[in-house]
């Protein structure tokens, strides 16, 4: 029996891991096929940093819809939710990937209140606002599904976090990177996910956290051991295999559970 087409939304889809997700998802070999629509969100869809995304959207006009969304700006998130809602119809939205984030690499001594506020605004308040604004469409998808349980084909939010937000792993990681505002923001994102997992359990909307590995992107730097293709191949397989076992859990791109 073939799977029903699913609708997906990705934030920060114009470069790095977000763009790689878009690339791999429109490939017919992707584990997440078939797609009905892929909302590729970015804050400057007409600017030079979205050139590759625009070219990809031109190649797949029936699937990729480029949407303007600044995840540090609540009114921009609300406007994009209205736009997405008008394109979606009644079936709702199956999968939201909160991917956009920033990293300020400062120590505790160097971190300013502005660094912290900016990082929290994008990495924590952004994903929270996305969850809130897109909740009606996730709820519609969960209600419309005839399948019991949880999955990304029903209604799910994947929050892209990082092992470096793990308090338990601090000893192992501190020597490579300080990035205090970023690490605190990812620990907070993990808690946001835990709260959402608790609150939406009964509605069978899956909330999960993923660590994509240390990857060669602008954020991950050229020193990272793995490339985008490898990371996202793993990420998409993990997302596709998710069930209620992943609800409220932090997993890496290989499907291994990570301690908080």
Ligand X SMILES: NC(=O)c1ccc[n+]([C@@H]2O[C@H](COP(=O)([O-])OP(=O)(O)OC[C@H]3O[C@@H](n4cnc5c(N)ncnc54)[C@H](OP(=O)(O)O)[C@@H]3O)[C@@H](O)[C@H]2O)c1
How near is the Cβ of 92 to ligand X at its closest, in Å? 23
Q: Cα separation of 100 and 26, whole Å?
A: 20
How near is the Cβ of 2 to ligand X at its closest, in Å? 31
Q: Which helix (H) or strand (E) element contains residue 160?
A: strand 156-160
Q: Cα separation of 225 and 215, whole Å?
A: 6
- Rounded alpha-carbon distances, angstroms, from residue 244 to 155, 175, 198: 11, 35, 12
Question: Of 216, 213, 159, 214, which Cα lies nearest the Cα of 186?
Answer: 159
How near is the Cβ of 145 to ligand X at its closest, in Å? 27
Please say which residue, 42 or 239, places its beta carbon nearer to ligand X: 42
Please say which residue, 142 or 219, places its beta carbon nearer to ligand X: 219
Please say which residue, 102 or 242, places its beta carbon nearer to ligand X: 102
How near is the Cβ of 3 to ligand X at its closest, in Å? 26
Residues within the interface to ligand X (CB under 6 A): 11-12, 14-18, 42-44, 49, 70-72, 99-102, 122, 160, 162, 211-212, 214-215, 217-220, 224
> Hey, how many other C-beta atoms are within 10 angstroms of the C-beta on 191?
13
Please give the structure tokens belonging to residue 251.
Answer: 């997993």
How near is the Cβ of 9 to ligand X at its closest, in Å? 13
Question: Of 168, 243, 164, 254, which Cα lies nearest the Cα of 208?
Answer: 243
Please say which residue, 40 or 155, places its beta carbon nearer to ligand X: 40
Residue of minimal Cβ distance to ligand X:
16
How near is the Cβ of 10 to ligand X at its closest, in Å? 9
- Rounded alpha-carbon distances, angstroms, from residue 90 to 7, 58, 75, 81, 142: 12, 26, 23, 14, 11
Please say which residue, 68 or 194, places its beta carbon nearer to ligand X: 68
Where on the phi/psi map is residue 255: left (φ > 0), alpha (ψ -120 to 50), or beta? left
Please say which residue, 63 or 163, places its beta carbon nearer to ligand X: 163
Question: Could you give the 3-state DSSP secondary structure of residue 200?
Answer: coil
């Amino acid at each position: 029996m073939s799977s029903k087409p699913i609708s997906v939304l990705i934030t920060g889809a114009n470069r790095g891991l977000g763009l790689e997700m878009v690339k791999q998802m429109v490939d017919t070999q992707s584990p997440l096929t078939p797609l009905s629509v892929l909302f590729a969100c970015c804050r400057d869809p007409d600017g030079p940093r979205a050139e590759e995304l625009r070219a990809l959207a031109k190649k797949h006009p029936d699937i990729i819809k480029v949407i303007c969304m600044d995840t540090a700006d609540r009114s921009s998130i609300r406007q994009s939710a209205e736009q997405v809602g008008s394109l979606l119809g009644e079936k709702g939205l199956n999968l939201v990937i909160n991917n956009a984030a920033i990293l300020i690499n400062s120590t505790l001594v160097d971190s300013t209140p502005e660094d912290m506020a900016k990082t929290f605004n994008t990495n924590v308040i952004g994903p929270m606002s996305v969850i809130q604004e897109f909740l009606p469409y996730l709820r519609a998808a969960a209600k419309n599904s005839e399948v019991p349980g949880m999955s990304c084909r029903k209604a799910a939010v994947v929050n892209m976090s990082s092992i470096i937000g793990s308090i338990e792993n601090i000893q192992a990681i501190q020597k490579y990177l300080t990035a205090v505002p970023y690490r605190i923001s990812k620990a907070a994102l993990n808690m946001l996910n835990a709260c959402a997992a608790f609150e939406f359990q009964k509605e069978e909307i899956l909330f999960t956290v993923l660590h994509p590995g240390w990857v060669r992107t602008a954020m991950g730097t050229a020193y990272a051991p793995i490339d985008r293709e490898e990371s996202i191949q793993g990420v998409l397989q993990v997302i596709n295999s998710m069930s209620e076992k992943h609800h409220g859990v932090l997993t890496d791109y290989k499907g291994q559970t990570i301690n908080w």
